[in-house]
């Protein structure tokens, strides 16, 4: 998330929880077997290709992973746990 927040596209393997990278046009989530080829593709894209992806990543993190949203979701979860015990 830190790289995305800084506007840097991410390349991760599909063993991570970042499957939303492609859908948000800010990186790649690939099997280990495809990592090297995808890295080559990413490096070949250069700043012109990676810049827009970086902006998309920054927007995604701001929208879906903000402190405010995390606090709200945690609060909702805590209320759910409390209500479940009643």
The two tokens of residue 43 are 């490096």
pLDDT tens, N- to C-terminus, the chain (86 residues):
899 999 999 999 999 999 999 999 999 999 999 999 999 999 999 999 999 999 999 999 999 988 999 999 999 999 999 998 87
pLDDT at position 86 is 76
| pLDDT for the residue 53 | 98
Instruction: Determine contact, residues 10/3, Cβ cutoff 8 Å.
Output: yes
Question: With contact defined as beta carbons under 8 Å apart, do 21 and 72 qualify?
Answer: no
- Residue 6: give the domain boundaries: 2-85
- Residue 25 region by backbone torsions, left for phi larger than 0, else alpha for psi between -120 and 50, else beta: left
Q: What is the pTM of this model?
A: 0.78
34: which DSSP letter?
G
Supply the pLDDT for residue 26.
Answer: 98
* CA atoms of 77 and 75, how far apart (whole Å): 5
Which neighbouring-strand residues pair with 12? 29
| Model pLDDT, residue 61 | 95
Domain count for the chain, please give it: 1
pLDDT of residue 45: 95
């Amino acid at each position: 998330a830190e790289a995305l927040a800084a506007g840097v596209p991410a390349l991760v393997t599909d063993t991570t929880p970042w499957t939303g990278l492609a859908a948000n046009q800010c990186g790649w989530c690939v099997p280990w077997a495809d990592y090297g080829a995808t890295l080559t593709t990413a490096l070949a894209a250069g700043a012109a290709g990676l810049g827009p992806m970086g902006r998309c990543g920054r927007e995604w993190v701001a929208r879906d992973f903000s402190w405010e949203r995390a606090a709200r979701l945690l609060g909702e979860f805590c209320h759910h746990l409390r209500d479940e015990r009643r």
